[in-house]
Structure 1
């Protein structure tokens, strides 16, 4: 390596500041022979010439567009290298990454909306799927009441991945359960009977489409169905007194599993 005076060329630190690359990267490129400084001072310090700097500029550009160091060496040093072909291939990979990131961004937008709104359906879609007794303000009410709970987060994560078809399946399952509930009440099914307990278990299974429901949480939910005017009107619209009867069969099933309904907590 030729000697140079202290004023010739640029030091590693100066090149690092000018190109925005780390000194460590410059040392590494020197060690692997990708970009070696052409000069050395009398004191032994390496210096980069204008030609070295031009090569480094090209390395930085190629690295920023995603080429690996071995591929960069080929592009710079192999006279037979297909540079346009290499760049086109890299552009195709970049396009794939952009598409992937756009899909990720769209998914994040849906997740944010689901956490803030609950249902990602229009009021018209909700009425079509959940029926004329559905109140489109219910999701907003639930967000205000339960938005800080783990159950709301679980519900939002499920909601973000569902479209109208998936929600229709959930609604159909709940409608089928409510129909069976009304028929059991008409038939005089007694709380604590095997038939009643099967309905209680079916409710937990269907409700799991929203979030996992423990037995204690189910007791609290059944009590809310009876006490809340909106929910009570919904269930009593299916059968008069159905909200209270549902609470009774849930309480009886809870007692059979060692849970006191009077002290059950949301946990």
Structure 2
């Protein structure tokens, strides 16, 4: 039986606006539209929506999802099996991290002892979920150069890079309630610009675009704001000031 857009939104726990957007970009077009303009979704539409939401859960962009599900070779059962496999791997990784958190609490209380290696069990940043989006925005050259520089480093050097970036995030988080154009803020954001260019090749405008992504993409916002709520927005503004002064 066909379902109206509000019914589908409630069923899938998404907004009506989201469904309208999917229709507008050709990602999910309802099989029927009444003379009054009401969208009616068929069972096949609901099956496709399920696929879209699974892909979104795995951080695929809407552009990539559309490319995948509109491909003539797309196999729904094969995709579901892939979703299941990846989600099981994700669950295993999250379970491991939760166990590390529980042990860390006991370690802080002095009830057990954890080695430094045990404190970081469950973390795996060997793959960058934002790499494809970076390629689409700035081209392969910037990303390939960053990967090449990082891959040429030893594991110890790569950890040192990660630690340095986290230190910059921490210092910027302490400034996030100040004026992004202040000397202190710009000194910190210049350090961030220099750090990024040690890994790749970012023009001031690309740097500005990256800052905007920190706010536009909730995945970036969520990760950056772990260092302090509002840090992503502060960095966006500070990076824009930096780019303006370099232009």
TM-score bracket relative to the smaller structure: 0.3 to 0.5
The structure with more radius of gyration: 1
TM-score normalised to the size of structure 1? 0.43
